Amino acid sequence: MNWFLVFVPVAIALHYLLPEARTWTFITAGLGIIPLAGLLGKATERLATASGEGIGALLNATFGNAAELIISLAAIRAGLYDVVKASITGSIIGNILLVMGGAFLAGGIKHRIQRFNATAARAQATTLTLAAVGLIMPAMYHYAGGKHPGGREADLSLEIACVLLATYFLTLLFSLRTHRDLFMGKKGGGEPPEEPAGRHWNVSQAVAMMLGSTLLIAWLSDVLVGSVEDAARSLGMTSIFVGVIVVAIIGNAAEHSMAIFLARKNRMDLSYGIAIGSSIQIALLVAPLLVFASRILGPLPMDLVFTPFEVVAIALAILIIEQTASDGESNWLEGVQLLSVYCILCLVFYFLPA
């Protein structure tokens, strides 16, 4: 998808020369971010080639989520908290259903049955359940009693963010040190890890590619957020749909491409670790950081009160991935099932009133 890079200068031209063409600016900026996120993922994969599946998945998820974090910070600065929280929801369900579903489908078409570490998969699914509890409870508090004057959703969200952040770092300790063997993958399993587009990069070139891609993503993200409201009105989309579906897909382009590529290579431990690890990182790291950042960059502190449908969507996505991945095996039909649930959620979010 490198030819999508042509949209980067197009977005720049529209932003400065045709500031009234906000819809086209939004579309071209979003299309320009997608290949940049892909290059970011390839550079990360190059650095992670000799570091093992666990560290490789962590690196890919971290730098893959850089685009999502940058977009959300720009939205916080603009006070678009609904878009920020919707993008958190979209990233979680997108990685679980769209990315993992696409990986199961793409890998299952080439390989009849694919296997990965069931113990590690169950541990990650349990961590996702914990993350869901942390994101759901502020909404339960709000709708049960926080609506009255003096409700303390912002304070509660800040304290829960501290718990989630501490849990994330303890999860890293578990997966990278005390139980690292569970996340290393099978020695010699799958096909060679190098991707043709990045196999000749050395470490310095990979680092330069990561930094350059991140800077361009940061600039385009600012352009994207600046035009999102006008574009949403022009295209007949609500801010929730834009955040849950459009921004999430753009921000997670690196995970989309890399997880599917690795599944085709039959490297399912790394593919699963990227997709599910990215959802865990969004819930336990990115969401708390955004709560903290809103107190510095935003007009008001941001809370973690999601809409009822966002809460239901996150819970259902985690429930179905626990059912499909707990046995440590996958096939193309399970990929179709995950993608079907994602399509259903997309349709409901599209028709959901603003």
What element of type H or E holds 159?
helix 153-173
Q: What percent of the chain has pLDDT over 70?
A: 84
What local confidence, expressed as pLDDT, does residue 193 receive? 44
C-alpha–C-alpha distance, residues 221 and 5, integer Å: 15
7-11, 238-242, 302-306: least confident range: 238-242
Orientation angle between helical segments 203-235 and 7-17, nearest 10 degrees: 50
What local confidence, expressed as pLDDT, does residue 163 receive? 94
**Burial class of residue 15 in the structure, from the number of CB atoms within 10 Å of its CB (0-12 exposed, 13-18 middle, 19+ buried):** buried
**Token pair for residue 158?**
């800040």
DSSP state of 302: -
Higher pLDDT among residues 121 and 190, named by residue? 121
- Reported in sequence order, the residue ranges of the chain that DSSP labels E, i.e. its strands, are 114-115, 329-330
What local confidence, expressed as pLDDT, does residue 185 receive? 56
**Token pair for residue 26?**
């939004």
Q: What percent of the chain has pLDDT over 90?
A: 18
User: Given a cut of 70, is residue 134 above it in pLDDT?
Assistant: yes
Task: Catalogue all structural domains in the chain, each as residue range(s) with its CATH number.
Answer: 2-351 (1.20.1420.30)
Higher pLDDT among residues 128 and 210, named by residue? 128
Whether residue 223 contacts residue 11, with contact meaning beta carbons closer than 8 Å, is answered with: yes
Longest dimension (CA), the chain: 60
| Length of the chain counted residue by residue | 354
215-229, 258-272, 275-289: least confident range: 215-229
Whether residue 156 contacts residue 141, with contact meaning beta carbons closer than 8 Å, is answered with: yes
Q: What is the pLDDT of residues 144-154, one digit of tens each?
A: 765 554 558 88
329-330 and 114-115 beta bridge pairing = antiparallel
46-50, 111-115, 280-284, 301-305: least confident range: 46-50
Q: What is the pLDDT of residues 295-349, one digit of tens each?
A: 998 888 999 988 888 999 999 999 998 888 878 889 999 999 999 999 999 999 8
**Token pair for residue 82?**
């609904």
What local confidence, expressed as pLDDT, does residue 166 receive? 92
What local confidence, expressed as pLDDT, does residue 196 receive? 43
Residue 187's pLDDT band, with cuts at 50, 70 and 90, is: very low
Q: What is the pLDDT of residues 12-29, one digit of tens each?
A: 888 888 888 888 988 898
126, 128, 129, 134 alpha-carbon torsion, rounded to 10°: 130
**Token pair for residue 209?**
């590619």
Residue 97's pLDDT band, with cuts at 50, 70 and 90, is: very high
Which has the closest alpha carbon to 102: 237, 274, 220? 274
Which has the closest alpha carbon to 74: 258, 174, 221, 256? 221
What local confidence, expressed as pLDDT, does residue 294 receive? 92
Q: Which residue has the tokens 């908290």?
A: 81
Q: Which residue has the tokens 């849950």?
A: 244
125-134, 204-213, 339-348: least confident range: 204-213
C-alpha–C-alpha distance, residues 243 and 261, integer Å: 26
C-alpha–C-alpha distance, residues 160 and 165, integer Å: 9
User: Given a cut of 90, is residue 104 above it in pLDDT?
Assistant: yes
**Token pair for residue 222?**
């600012």
Q: What's the mean pLDDT when you consider all of the chain?
A: 81
What local confidence, expressed as pLDDT, does residue 93 receive? 92
Q: What is the mean pLDDT of residues 215-240?
A: 78
Q: Which residue has the tokens 């999502």?
A: 68
Q: What is the pLDDT of residues 33-45, one digit of tens each?
A: 878 877 876 776 6
pTM beyond 0.85, yes or no? no
**What are the residues facing 114 on neighbouring strands?**
330
Which has the closest alpha carbon to 224: 38, 74, 40? 74
Residues 6+ apart with CB under 8 A from 346: 245
